[in-house]
A and B are shown apart, each in its own frame.
Chain A
Amino acid sequence: MKTDDLVRALAADSRRAAPPRTLVVRAALASGAIACLAFVALVGVRPDLLSALADPRVAFKFAFAGSAAIAAVAYALRASRPDDRSSPLVFALPVMALLAVGVALELSLTPKVIWPSAAVGTAPFRCLALIVAVALVPIAALLQAMRSGAPRHPTLAGAAAGLGGGAIGAAVFALYCPNDSVLFVAIWYGLGLVIAGALGAAVGARRLAW
C-alpha cells in the first residue's frame, strides 16, 4: 500500500476520539459505584458504620484507600501517553508517607503487646479475598478504558490500573471491614493492593500493548 493512500484513508476516519482521561475517570467512577452497590447488596456494611466513621483509624482507612486510588489513576493517565517521562514514585510517595505516618502514630499510641494481634486482626485472609474480589470490576473497567491510551510501558500502566482498581475495591470494602488497626490496613490492604497491581500488570502487558 502506498503511504499517500494510507494517509487518505486515515484522514477519512474523522470520528472524534475520546481522550483517555475522560474514559478512565468515567470508568473509575462508574465501576466504583457498581462495586459499592453490589458489595453492599451482597455482603452489607458494618453495623456500626456511622459511629465508626468518627474513629480516626476508620477515617484513615478511607483516606488511605482514596488517596491510593487517586494517585494510581492519576499516574495511569500520565502513563497512557507515549511521551510520558513521569516517575511512578512521585505519585506513590505521598500515599506511602500517609501510611507511614498512620503506622507510626498507631505504634506510638498502642502498647507493644497488642501489636501482633492488631496486625493479624480477625479473619485477615477473608478480608484480603474480599478486597481482591471487589476490586475485580474496577480493575477490569480501568484496563478497558486504558486501551484508548498508548503507554510506553504497558506492564507498568497495567500495574497502575490494577492498583487503582485495588484501591477502589479497598475503599468499598472498608464500609464493612471490622478490623480498624492501621497495622492491619498496612499489611492486608497493602497486600490486596499488591495483588491487584500484579493482576493489572499481567493483563496490561498484553491488553495495553499498541
Chain B
Amino acid sequence: MPSFNRAFMPPKMPYQYPNTTPLSLTATATVASNSSAGVNSIALKNPMGQPMEILEVRFQLNTIGYPGSNLSTILGGMIYCKMDLGEHEITNGFVPTWCFGKWESPLEAFVAVTQLPAEQVYIYQTYIWKLPKPLYVPAGSVLIPTFQHTGLFQNTVEISVTYNCRSFPVGTPPPEKLSLPYVAAYTSKTFERSETETDESTETDLVNPFSVPLHIQRFVGRLQVFQSNVSVAQETPPTTTAAGSGRVADAPTSYENWQIKMVDMLGRPIVQDFTPFRMVFDAQSRSWEMDNGAVMDPNSYIIAYCRKAAGTGVIEGGPYFSQAFISVVGWRDLVGGDTK
C-alpha cells in the first residue's frame, strides 16, 4: 500500500558527480520562412571527448521586423524544434520553442528599433529550458536539434541554441539509471477574432509513448495573437496606442476569452471544467508547474479541449487571429535496455 509520506516527497537525484567542469556549447542555424534547418552538430559535442550532462537549453531567436513601423513579433510560436539523442526522442516531433520552459520575465522578448539611416526593427527572443533532470550525454554523442520555420512570418530567423553543461572527468563511470527529458506539444488551429470556435488535441499530441511513467515537470500554455499578415504577433495583447500604429490590443481575443478543459485517456478530469486559459497556465509563468510527483501513465495521452468566445466590436488593423500552444514537459527513467 503506498504510504502518504512517500506520495508527496519530491524525487531525489539518483547520483552526484564531484569534480565536474562547467561547459557551454552553442550552435547556430539560419532558417528561411517555411523551411527547416539543422545545426553544425560538432559545435554541440563535448570538445574534450568526455561524457557530460546538459543542465539547461537556451534558444535565442533573432530576426528583423517589418521596416517602416515599430511592430514587434513573437517568434516562439513560429519556430519549432525537434531534439534527438541518438535513438532516443527528446521531443514528440517538432515542438514550439516557447513550449519547453516557463516564462521567465517580460525581457524574454526584446525589440530594438534603430532610426538611422532607416528605421529597422531588431527582434531578439530568448527561451530557457532548465531540464527537469540533468541529461547524461555519453562521450561522442550529441543532442541534435533541428529547427522548423512554420512560414507564418516571411523573414528569415537566425537561431542560436546553447547547452549549459558540465563535463565529467576521465574515467567517470556512466550512471546506472538515466533520466531522459521529454516534451510533447499541441498547437491549436487559428481562431478568428470575431468567431466562437472550439478545437481539441489528438491522441498523438500530448502523449506519453513510453512504457514507463512520464514524470511531469510542467504544462506550458502559450497564446499568440496576430494579424492576418503576421506583421504583429503578440503573446499578451499590448495596450492600445494611436490609430494606425498596429499595436492594438483586443481583450476578447486575449487569453480571457480562451477556455481550456483537459482529460486523460480514460476521460478522467485533469482540468475539471472549462477554465480560463490563464487560470490553468498561470499568468506569471505561462505554465502549470508540477515537481510534485505528478505523472502521466505509461502509453497514455491527454486531450485538451479549447474554446474561444467571439470578440466584440471593431478593432483597427484587423483581422486578428489567435492560437493556443500547450505542451507537457517531463522526464522518464531509463534503467538499462529499451523502454520503448
Physical interaction between A and B: no
